[in-house]
Amino acid sequence: MSALRRFLRTPEAVAGAILLAVLIAMALSASLLFPGDPQAIAGPALLPPFQDWSLPLGTDRLGRDVLAELFHGARTSLAVGLAAAAAALVVGAVVGTLAGFAGGLVDEVLMRITDAFQTVPSFLLALAFVSVVGPSLGVVAIALGTWTGPARVARAEVLSIRERDYVAGARVIGMHPLAIAFREVLPNALPPVLAMSSVIVAAAILTEAALSFLGLGDPNRVTWGGMISEGRAVLRTAPFLSIVPGIALVLTVLGVYLAGEGIVETTAVRRGLS
């Protein structure tokens, strides 16, 4: 049985994949379905959902189309989440590989730095970073707090790989240590690091939402966190303005978790069989 078929037989994984597919479709079709500025005024303010079919989810405090904002927000969430997670995985894998392969003083210094990053609450670090360089570099701010996990996992994996015969072989034929580290060791240390990616993407999406909620997101983009924050002002009279983007966030993160877990489990089984 192929991994794909096994994936399709797991109901949770399929649900996750569907959620993710919907999200990606929303992000890709945002400019097609809702061309123009999603932050422009589209109708009367605070129109409740399901009243006017040209504005199915109603409007917010300023009369902006909630559905259009939701679609454009999907784009921000996905873009920032994926970019931050990719940056965290790359930095983590490189730092972990260097630390594990070099050992000694390099390892010691890199791991103390990792400790330092893990000691400072990552959200506080992101807050400080955004306050210094501005909200446009939110991706870096989020990655700052998430690269440590991959770094530790990569290091642990490299420590076990570096004693293997093929690494000794590469040394004997006179390969440069850096070439061994990144061409021979790193690719083999990647699977457990990549297995963390769904958790990291999810964490990045949640951190981005929290930053935007506190008003530290990119002001030129629609974000779900920003929408919730906007809706908070009218929480008593129009709670749906906070509820709708919140549900979108939950479904997105859940989709990432479920699909990620599905992929990890199906591939793990395959590895176990072969």
Partner 1 sequence: MSGRTEGGAQARHLSWATRRQTFDAPMTRALTLIRRRLVGSIFVLLIVVVGTFLLLEAAPGDAVDAYIVSTGGDAGMIELLRHRWGLDQSELTRLANYLWALLHLDLGQSVTFSRPIRDVILERLPNTLLLMVSATALSFGLGSALGIYAGARPGSFRDRFLSIGSLALYAVPGFWLGLMLIVVFAVDLRWLPIGGIETLASDKTGLDRAADIAIHLALPVSALGFIYLALYLRMMRAGMAEVWRQDFVLAARAKGLSRRRIVLAHVARNALLPLVTMLGLQSAQMLGGSVVIESVFSVPGLGRLAQEAVASRDTPLLLGIILTSAVLVIVINLLVDIAYAFLDPRVGAGEAGA
Task: Give the position of tokens 């030129």.
Answer: 220
Contact 242, 235 (CB under 8 A): yes
Name which of 33 and 109 has its Cβ closer to partner 1: 109
What's the token pair of residue 65? 């189309």
Using rule CB under 8 A, residue 195 touches partner 1: yes
* Element holding 151 (H helix, E strand): helix 148-161
What's the token pair of residue 46? 């605070």
Q: CA geometry: angle at 233 spanning 232 and 237, to 5°?
A: 90
Task: Compute the distance between CA of residue 16 and CA of residue 188 in angstroms, rounded to an integer.
Answer: 27
Task: Compute the distance between CA of residue 24 and CA of residue 28 in angstroms, rounded to an integer.
Answer: 6
Among 99, 228, 259, 263, binds partner 1 (CB under 8 A): 228
Residues in binding contact with partner 1, number by CB under 8 A: 56
Using rule CB under 8 A, residue 89 touches partner 1: no
Residue 215 Rama label (left phi>0; alpha psi -120 to 50; beta): left
Name which of 30 and 200 has its Cβ closer to partner 1: 200
- Closest separation between CB of residue 33 and partner 1, Å? 25
Among 46, 94, 194, 214, binds partner 1 (CB under 8 A): 214
Among 87, 102, 206, 259, binds partner 1 (CB under 8 A): 206
- Closest separation between CB of residue 132 and partner 1, Å? 4
Name which of 86 and 214 has its Cβ closer to partner 1: 214
What's the token pair of residue 245? 């983007």
Distances (CA, A) of 125 to 34, 47, 120, 144, 145: 35, 38, 7, 8, 7
Contact pattern for partner 1 over residues 113 through 142, marking x by CB under 8 A: x-xx-xxxxxxxx-xxxxxxx---------
The string of DSSP letters for 83-137 reads HHHHHHHHHHHHHHHHHHHH-HHHHHHHHHHHHHHHHS-HHHHHHHHHHHH-GGG
Using rule CB under 8 A, residue 236 touches partner 1: yes
Which parts of 239-258 interact with partner 1 (CB under 8 A)?
A: 239, 242-243, 246, 249-251, 253-254, 257-258
Q: Which chain residues interact with partner 1 by CB under 8 A? A: 12, 111-113, 115-116, 118-125, 127-133, 145, 149, 152-153, 156, 192, 195-196, 198-199, 202, 206, 209-210, 213-214, 216, 225, 228, 232, 235-236, 239, 242-243, 246, 249-251, 253-254, 257-258, 260-261
